[in-house]
Structure 1
Amino acid sequence: MKILIVEDEIRISNLLKIYLSRESYQVTVTDNGDDGLAQALQEDYDLIILDVFMPGKNGFTVLEEVRKLKDTPVIMLSAQNEEQGLGLGANAFISKPFSPGAVVSKVKEILSAKN
């Protein structure tokens, strides 16, 4: 299964990539909203992990654009604004700071419900 991580904090994206790769997911990482949106629309991912505040388009804008064309499950990451993300169609919201293991558990939960 393919997962896209759109996160500008390299330490966080690398950590998530390590944890998800250990679970045999194919992981692609982008570090800004513009590239993340392009990647999300260009490829078919099974799930997107999307930060809210980052360079280029913010996560809410990326989510809105993705939802116009795709129903790919999205987990949003941020220290705030949970209601807005869920209102725009995010499947889950995880507050920073978080445990990478908790993110992996949520990914598995969403993907198993999808299949």
Structure 2
Amino acid sequence: METTPRPTPVEEATIQVLLVEDDERLARLTARYLQEHGIIVTVSASGTDALAQTSRHTYDVILLDLMLPGRDGLEVCRELRTRTDVPIIMLTARGEEADRVLGLESGADDYLPKPYSSRELLARIRAQVRRARGKAGPTSHPVHAGRLVLDPRSLSATLDGKLLSLTTYEFSLLRVLAERVGRVLSREQLLDLVKGSADEVFDRSVDVHIFRLRQKLEVDPRNPRLLKTVRGAGYMLATESEAES
């Protein structure tokens, strides 16, 4: 018998979600289910309206349909990423790997193909909230890794004292690597350690997020010195001596 996942203490605070979906029936059913489980839901039927809503209100998670009238979900996602790091879960009938990669490259934190289970959607929303509220790992103390400092309480990271602009997923991924500096982690290990990553997330999505992190960390992203690839094994955040060599 299936049971709805129970909220953890960090999720007891009210969760506010913006659902961007032009299918009126699906939006109504999804909103009703989430509201029955304590989520406050605002429904928007277009990308233009969604952008206006995010200018006026703050949300914990945005559920963004890919196929929207006018401005599509990818365009909306890219614009949202220029102004906010709110977790974005992309919802779409397109389930091919190329579509997932495109969604993640546009700034989405997670990707859920349609038709989806309402129960799974609720679990993913709560997972994103746990990460965004700084409960993704075992410690809330700052993590130091050479010139890099991460503060789980504020979800902020600095490199050489300069603030980095990271999404919640990028922060969680970088935190996992920073807590294990000098250690090689496979894609599978990274997916497992970044708490809240959904079963549908595939290992190549890690490559996309690593690519985006390198754009923000490295002087020359094509020749990374901090976030290194170990061929056939995975990724590693280099120690200071390794980064300088």
TM-score grouping bracket, smaller chain normalisation: over 0.9
1:20 to 34, 54, 79: 34
Describe the SS at the equivalent of 2:27: helix
1:92 to 104, 110, 113: 110
Contact 1:15 1:100 in 2 (8 A): no
SS in 2 for 1:41: helix
1:41 offset after TM fit, Å?
Answer: 2.5
Contact 1:50 1:75 in 2 (8 A): yes
Q: How many residues align?
A: 115
Q: Does residue 35 in structure 1 map to residue 45 in structure 2? A: no
Question: 2:76, 2:55 → 1: CA distance?
Answer: 10
Deviations for 1:45-95, whole angstroms, at most 9, x for unmatched residues? Answer: 111000000112100111111100100100000122211111111110000
1:18-44: CA deviation from partner (whole Å, max 9, x where unpaired): 111112111100111111111122211
Highest RCO, 1 vs 2 (Cα 8 Å, sep ≥ 6): 1
Q: RMSD of the TM alignment (CA)?
A: 1.0
- The answer on 1:2 being equivalent to 2:16 is yes
Paired amino acid for 2:54 = A
**Quick one: distance in 1 between partners of 2:21 and 2:70?**
11
Q: Give the alignment's TM-score, normalised by structure 2.
A: 0.46
Q: What is the CA deviation profile of residues 90-111 of structure 1, one whole-angstrom value per residue up to 9, with x for unaligned ones?
A: 1100001111111111101111
TM-score by length of 1: 0.95
Structure holding more helix per residue: 1
CA distance in 1 between counterparts of 2:57 and 2:110 reads: 21
Instruction: Give the distance between the partners of 1:107 and 1:63, measured in 2 at CA.
Output: 17
Give the 3-state SS of the residue equivalent to 2:82 in structure 1. helix
Structure 1 stretches (4+) deviating beyond 4 angstroms? Answer: none
User: Paired residue for 1:75, among 89, 110, 114?
Assistant: 89
Q: Which amino acid aligns with 1:108?
A: R
1:17 CA drift (Å): 0.6
Q: Tell me which of 79, 83, 87 is aligned to 1:65.
A: 79
Structure 1 unaligned blocks of 5 or more: none
Q: C-alpha separation between the residues in 2 aligned to 1:105 and 1:65?
A: 26
- How far residue 12 of structure 1 moved from its aligned partner, in angstroms, is 1.3
Distance 2:83 2:46 in 1: 20
Gaps of 5+ in 2: 1-14, 134-245
Overall identity of the aligned pairs, in %: 35
Q: Which amino acid aligns with 1:87?
A: E
Counterpart CA distance in 2 for 1:88 and 1:111 is 20
Letter in 2 for 1:74: I
Q: What is the one-letter code of the residue matched to 2:40? A: Q
2:108 aligns to what SS in structure 1? coil
